[in-house]
Amino acid sequence: MWALGKREDFVYKYIFPILVLFSWTTNAEDTEVLSVERSVSKNIHLSFANDNNIRPKKGDFEVVNYVLMSNEVGERWSVITLTNLASGNRTLDQEHLIALLADGNRISPLEYKLNFKGKESQSITVSFGEHKFPILSIYSSNEI
């Protein structure tokens, strides 16, 4: 049996650091978990200046709906359902979509491509990177 002093040494030298490390890694993982944000009504009218004339690339895609997600690190993600309005095949890429942030900035998602058949609807999960301000809306050239 260990003497009381040796047991305390063992706890402080070995067990305590392991517990601290475990709690730190668990906490770090929690900050990266995405949470669904409260949605903003499509009927809301936002009038931020667009001095740089940032617009989505012209295309045949319509944003049907989207679900916004973020985490404590500031990552911004969205599940977006789109419809190809054309009767022929089309390829959607990051330049077809723009997100409006709460500070008025407009950003495109990180690089992706998705093929659509004519009149097809699909959902895609895309990242908009890390930003301090939340996404207020996402739109294509057909929603301007």
Show the DSSP H helices in the chain as ranges: 4-10, 16-32
pLDDT score of 15: 62
Q: Where are the domains of the chain?
A: 1-32, 35-143
CA dist., res. 88 & res. 61, Å (int): 12
The residue-averaged pLDDT of 58-81 equals 96
CATH of 35-143, one of 2.40.30, 2.60.40, 3.40.50, 3.30.360: 2.60.40
- Among candidate residues 91, 90, 87, 83, the one with its CA nearest the CA of residue 142: 83
pLDDT score of 89: 98
Phi-psi region of 53 (alpha: psi -120 to 50; beta: other; left: phi over 0): left
96-118 pLDDT tens trace:
999 999 999 999 999 999 999 99
pLDDT score of 29: 60
For residue 92, count other CB atoms closer than 10 A to its CB: 23
